[in-house]
Amino acid sequence: MKRRLQVMLGFSLWLILVGTGTARAGERLIIEAALDRQIVDPVLDAFAAENPQIDLDYRDRSTLEVDQRARDRDSPPDVVISSAMPWQLALSNEGMAQPLDAPEVDQWPAWAKWRNEVFGFTFEPVVMAYRLELASHMPPPETHRDLLDLLTHYRYWLDGRVVSYSPRESGVGYTLSQQDARYTPRAWDLIAAMGAANINLETTTQRMLAGLSEGRYWLGYNLLGSYAMLWAQTHPDIIVQVPNDYSLVLMRMAFVHRDAPHPAAARRFVRFLLSRRGQHILAGQTPLFSVRDDVIGPYTAQRLRDQVGDHLYPIPINATLLAFVDPLRRDAFLRRWDREIQILSE
């Protein structure tokens, strides 16, 4: 009878731990993320300090690699983080995310979450960046129209010196190209002009920034502002410009995987990202820009709105994103992109 009572008490304790999201001592937490560790380290360090019983395994990969890992049925991660917003929403739509029931979820703004499963926890502007020496040859661009004019009238100086994302090899690059085409009818003119200037295509913002600092590139288009602003702090030759006509805003999206091997630790981590404490660290110690309006710091969504005004266009977390990953639509978009980018460069 005593043995049976011990078993029942042990099972009841297990139910309490799982129900409240309390991680067990010595539990791992596997995070597949398209987010540079050096950028998010303050958040990871704070979480680790508050949860020393959790062994954090953070894996930094490209957006498309993260999507592939999330679909690995034999070895699924606990938490998935990516800036490739359509891919994250598609994973949730395919049943790969589990809902999170927590006060932080109830308080999270509706425009930054999907079905209480996927959460946009950053608010990052998409920017242009250029080398300071560019200003000695041409007026620096402040708008998309300015950029098109430079590519048209200063093609000699910019030939082979412009860089942007590859929409074919980068999920975030494809997302930004799609959004540009959605917000301005001149997007295809701009793509054709970049092709005429023999644009270079990269898979990460960090590669673009390195090329700018090395002098291989003079002008970068559609960089993630979080990385660019941090880079510019230690590279005074690089100027970051939030476009004055419109600036897309990207959100890193996080969710607990449906088959998370360590679900309690996973739920605890995502709740931390959404908590006031986690968002305060984002706002004060990283350039990722927090979403919550009850935190203060140099990097908050509200402060960015105050600085930029009405020119911010957050990419909405809604069903329209699912159309972007439809294979037929994606193939059609990329075929046109290839055609426009090559029209004048041949």
Considering the entire predicted model, what is its pTM? 0.84
* pLDDT recorded at residue 207: 94
Whole-number pLDDT of residue 183:
83
| Structural domain span for residue 189 | 125-246+323-343
> Which of 296, 256, 322, 279 is CA-nearest to residue 108?
279
The 10 Å Cβ neighbour count of residue 8 is: 10
CA distance to 41, 42, 160, 303, 319, per residue, from 38 (Å): 5, 8, 30, 23, 32
106 and 150, same domain (yes or no): no
Q: Is the pLDDT of residue 21 over 70?
A: no
Q: Percentage of the chain with pLDDT > 70?
A: 91
Give domain status of residue 337, yes or no. yes
Torsions phi, psi for 56 (to 5 deg): -85, 120
∠ CA 309-220-305, rounded to 5°:
15
Say if 8 falls within a structural domain: no
Domains held by the chain: number: 2
Quote the pLDDT of residue 78. 97
What is the SS3 assignment for 165? strand
| Residue 320 CB coordination number (10 Å) | 12
291 & 259 share domain: yes
Compute the Cα dihedral for 77, 176, 123, 112 and give only its sign: negative
Residue 278's contacts (CB-CB under 8 Å, 6 or more residues apart) are 43, 46, 47, 121, 272
Q: What are phi and psi of 281, to 5 degrees?
A: -65, -40
Domain contains 67: yes
Q: In this predicted model, what pLDDT tens digit does every residue of 35-93 receive, in sequence order?
A: 999 899 999 999 999 999 999 999 999 988 999 999 999 999 999 999 999 999 999 99
Say if residue 162 is in the same domain as residue 206. Answer: yes
- Domain co-membership, 199 together with 335: yes
- Shared domain check, 237 and 100: no
**Whether residue 61 is found in the same domain as residue 95:** yes
Give the CATH number, domain containing residue 103. Answer: 3.40.190.10
| Measured distance CA(96)–CA(27) in Å, rounded | 22
Task: Output the CA torsion 273→278→283→286 (10° steps).
Answer: -80
Whether residues 79 and 104 share a domain: the answer is: yes
My answer on whether 226 and 327 are in the same domain is: yes
Q: 260 and 119 in one domain?
A: yes
Taking the C-alpha atoms of residue 174 and residue 142, their distance in angstroms, rounded to an integer, is: 23
How many other C-beta atoms can be found within 10 angstroms of the C-beta atom of residue 10?
A: 10
pLDDT by residue (tens digit) across 254-304? 999 999 999 999 999 999 999 999 999 999 999 999 999 899 888 988 888
Q: What does the DSSP assignment read for 191-247?
A: HHHHHHTT-EEES-HHHHHHHHHHTS-SEEEEEEHHHHHHHHHH-TTEEEE--SS-E
Does 90 fall in a domain?
yes
Residues 286 and 303 in one domain: yes
Both 109 and 49 in one domain: the answer is yes
241 and 151 housed in the same domain: yes
